[in-house]
Structure 1
Amino acid sequence: MFAKGATLIQWLEEWVPKSIAVPDDRIGLQLGTLQKEIKNVMITLEVTDAVIDEAIARSVDLIIAHHAIMFRPLKHLQTDTPAGHKYEKLIKHDIAVYISHTNLDIAEGGVNDMMAQALGLQKTRVLAKTGEEELQKLVVFIPKAQEEEVRSAIMRAGAGWIGSYSHCSFNLEGTGTFLPESGTQPFIGEQGKLESVAEVRMETIVPVAIRNQVLAALKKAHPYEEPAYDLYPLKLEGKPLGLGRVGELSETMTLRALNDQVKTAFGLSMSRVVGELDTPVKKVAVLGGMGARYLSSALFAGADVYITGDIDYHTAQDALEAGMTLIDPGHHAEEIMKAPVAAYLEKRLAASKFSSTNVLVSETKTDPFQFV
C-alpha cells in the first residue's frame, strides 16, 4: 500500500510545522503535486541537476529538500536556462519538490539540535529566539469508566507537557447529560431518552502545532459518537523557538581538538578556524547554514566558540576583536538532516502500514566547494 504525498507531508509538518519558519522563507510545495501515490520519496539537502538525475534513475516521485529550488520569484520559465532545465526535467518525470527550511532548523530535534547532538553538547538552549510555542488548553469530558484510556491516548499524542513535566492534567468529576436523537447510535443510553452519566472533566495543555494529532487521538480513543471538548487560547509562554543552539561540551578542550571533532561529526576534510588553536573552549554556539548575522547572539550567550557556515572576512575580524573563536564547517554541514528526516518518515510509514512506499537518502554530492 502506497502513501500519498499529502500524507507524508502532513506527518513531516506535525514535526516541523510551517508556522514556525521565519517570515518569507521559501518553504512548502514548490513544484508538482502531492495528490498522488508515492512509491519512492528521496531526502536531500538541495535539488541540483545531479540530484534530479539521481531521482529519475531511482524512480522518485517526491523530493524533500532543505534548501529551496525556487529561492527567488520566477519572472519566466525558459527551459534553455540552468534553472528552467531543472524544472523541465522534474515536470517531465512527474517529480514533486517540497521544501522544509527554517522550520526544520528551528523545530525541536531539527537541524540545529542534530548538529548540537553530533558535537555532544549538553544543557542546550536556543541561540537566537524567533518566537515561542503557542499553547491552548484542551478540556474534554470523558465517561468515568474510560477516563484512563482516553487520557493516555491524549498524552501519547503529545499533550500535557509543562516544562520538563509530562502527563499534566486537572480532573474534576461531575455528571454529563445528553439526549440521543433519531439517527444516533449512542455508546451509552437510548434514542429519545435523557441520559445522565458520571463523567470526568479533564483539562490539559496542547501545543497548537500538534493540536490536530491530539484531537485525532482523542476522537479515536473516546467512546462517544460525538465527544464533547473545548479549546481555549492561553497567554502562557511556551517553549522558546529559534535558530541555533548554545550548549556545553562535557569537558573543556582546545579549539584544535574541537575542530577535529567538528570535521568528524560532519564528514569534513577541511574547515576554517578563527582564533588560536590552543584556546580552551567549553561553551559552544552552533547554527546550521549561514550564521554570521548571529555573531552578536553567540557573544551575548557567552560562547567560547561559534560554529557556523559562510563566515565572511569582516565577521571573522569582529569575532577576533571580541575575543571569540570561530569554526566554519561550511554551509553543507546541514547535510546532517538527511538521515534523521528519512528515519522519521520510515517510522511513520511503518506505524501506518504503508509498506510499499520507500524512503531514500540522496547519495549525490552537492557541496560546490572542494579543497585543493
Structure 2
Amino acid sequence: MLINGQTLIQHLDRLAPKKMAVEHDRIGLQVGTLNKSITTALVTLDVTDAVVEEAIAKGAELIIAHHAIIFRPLPKIDTATASGKLIEKLIKHDIAVYIAHTNLDVATGGVNDWLADRLGIQEANRSFLEEVYTDRWLKLVVYVPKPHLEAVQQAIWQAGGGQLGNYSECSFTVDGTGTFKAGEGATPFSGSIDQLHHAEEVKLETVIAASLQSKIVQAMIKAHPYEEVAYDLFPNEIKGTSYGLGRMGRLAESTTLGEYAEEVKKALQLSAVRIVGNVQTKVAKVAVLGGSGAKYVNKAKFAGADTIVTGDIDFHTAQDALADGMTIIDAGHHIEQIMITELANWLSHQITTYNNKVTTTIVASTINTDPFQFI
C-alpha cells in the first residue's frame, strides 16, 4: 500500500505546522503536485541538480527539503538558466518539491531541538531565543449521553485535547438532563419523531489548543452518537504553548570554549569551525540556532548564554561580540543537515505507525550540498 503525497505531508504538518513559520517564509509545495501515490520520498537540506539526479535514480516522486527552491518571485522560468533547468528536470520527471523551513526550525522536536540534543544541551529548562508563535487555548463543552461519555472523551484525548502542561486527559463533567424534539426527516439516536424526549446526559468540559480545533472537533463528532451534536467553544485566557527559534540551556558539565568547539566538531561531524573569543573562556550555558544566526548573538548574550553555536557570522558581528565579551562557535549554515536523517527517520516511523501495510519508503539524501570546502 502506497501513501498519498497529501497524506504524507499531513504527517509532516503534525511535527511542523505551516502556521509556525516565520512571516513571508517560502514553505509548502513549490513544484509539482502532492495528489499522487508516493513510492519513495527523498529528504534533503537543499534541492540541487545532484540531489534531483539522486531522486531520479531512487525513483522518488517527492523531495522534502529544508531550503526553498523558489525563494524570490520568479518573473519567468528560463530553462537556459541553472534554476530554470532544475525546475524543468523536476517537472519532466514528475518530482514534486515540498519545503519545511522555519516551521521545522521552530517545531518542538525539530531542527533546533535535534541540534541541542546532539550538542549536549540539557532538555530540562531548555528555552528558545525568540518567540515566533503562541497557541491559544479554547474551552470545549459538549453534551454526551452517559453510556457514550468514555468513547467521546477518548476521541478528544487521542486527537490532542485535554492537555495542560505535564497533565493529560484533563476534563470536568456534570450530570444533567437534555431535551430535544426530532422533526420530520431526522433520524434520532433516541426518542421519537415529533415528541419531546428527555435524555440523561453529561456536560463534558475540557481545554484544547486552537491549532487542533478542527481535528479535535471532528474526532469528537465522529465518536458522538447524536445526529446533531450540541457543543460550544469558548476563548480561554490561559496562555497556550509558545514556539520559537533557537534553543538555549545548560551543559551537563561546564567546559572551555576550546574544548566545547572540539565537541561541536565531533558531534556534527565537521572538519573545522570558526570561534570568536578566548578558548579558555568557561562555557556552561549554550545557545544554538541552525542556519544564519548573526542577528541572534545579542539575544543569546542577554539571555545569559556563554556562547552561541550557529552559522554565517559576518566580520562586524564577530568584532562586536568580541568587544562585548560574547563567544561564538560558527559551525556553518550547513549544520542544518542534521534534519535529513532525523526527519527521514521521524516520517518513516509516523507512516508505518499510521498503517503497517504502507510500503512507501522515506530515504535520506546522501548528497553533500555544502558549497564550502576547507583546504
| Shorter-chain TM band | over 0.9
Label 1:228 to 1:294 Cα distance change in 2 as closer, same or farther (>3 A): same
Q: Is the 8 A contact 2:131 2:244 kept in 1?
A: yes
Pick one of 240, 258, 264 that aligns with 1:238: 240
- The residue that corresponds to 1:109 in the other structure is 109
Distance 2:252 2:157 in 1: 33
Pick one of 208, 211, 215 that aligns with 2:210: 208
The TM-score, its normalising length taken from structure 1, stands at 0.94
1:91 partner letter: I
Partner of 1:134, secondary structure, is: strand
Distance 1:276 1:70 in 2: 40
- The residue that corresponds to 2:118 in the other structure is 118
Distance 1:258 1:155 in 2: 42
- The residue that corresponds to 2:93 in the other structure is 93
Q: Is the 8 A contact 1:14 1:210 kept in 2?
A: no
Distance 2:317 2:282 in 1: 21
Pick one of 359, 362, 374 that aligns with 1:359: 362
Partner of 2:126, secondary structure, is: strand
Superposed displacement of residue 325, structure 1: 1.0
Label 1:252 to 1:129 Cα distance change in 2 as closer, same or farther (>3 A): same
Superposed displacement of residue 132, structure 1: 1.3
Superposed displacement of residue 179, structure 1: 3.4
**Superimposed CA distance per residue, residues 69-101 of structure 1 (whole angstroms, 9 cap, x where no aligned partner):** 001110111111110010000000011111111
Q: Is the 8 A contact 2:11 2:351 kept in 1?
A: no
Q: Is the 8 A contact 1:292 1:311 kept in 2?
A: yes
Label 1:198 to 1:52 Cα distance change in 2 as closer, same or farther (>3 A): same
Distance 1:4 1:32 in 2: 14
Partner of 1:284, secondary structure, is: strand
Distance 1:71 1:55 in 2: 21
- The residue that corresponds to 2:65 in the other structure is 65
Distance 1:267 1:13 in 2: 29
1:237 partner letter: K
Distance 2:367 2:225 in 1: 50
2:32 partner letter: G
Counting only pairs closer than 5 Å after superposition, residues 160-175 of structure 1 correspond to structure 2 as 160-175=162-177
Q: How many residues align?
A: 372
Q: Is the 8 A contact 1:126 1:240 kept in 2?
A: no
Distance 1:90 1:252 in 2: 48
Distance 1:3 1:88 in 2: 25
Partner of 2:127, secondary structure, is: strand
Pick one of 146, 149, 152 that aligns with 1:147: 149
5+ unaligned residues in a row in structure 1: which ranges? none
* Mean CA deviation greater in 6-15 or 233-242: 233-242
Corresponding position: 1:257 with 2:255: no
1:27 partner letter: I
Superposed displacement of residue 343, structure 1: 2.7
Runs (4+) of structure 1 moved beyond 6 Å? none
**Over aligned residue pairs, what C-alpha RMSD do you find?**
1.8
Distance 1:101 1:362 in 2: 17
Superposed displacement of residue 334, structure 1: 0.8
Q: Is the 8 A contact 1:14 1:209 kept in 2?
A: no
1:311 partner letter: I
5+ unaligned residues in a row in structure 2: which ranges? none
2:7 partner letter: T
User: What percentage of residue pairs aligned between the two structures are identical?
Assistant: 51
Label 1:39 to 1:278 Cα distance change in 2 as closer, same or farther (>3 A): same
- The residue that corresponds to 2:316 in the other structure is 314
The TM-score, its normalising length taken from structure 2, stands at 0.93
Partner of 1:197, secondary structure, is: strand
Q: Is the 8 A contact 2:142 2:203 kept in 1?
A: yes
* Mean CA deviation greater in 109-118 or 350-359: 350-359
Partner of 1:239, secondary structure, is: strand
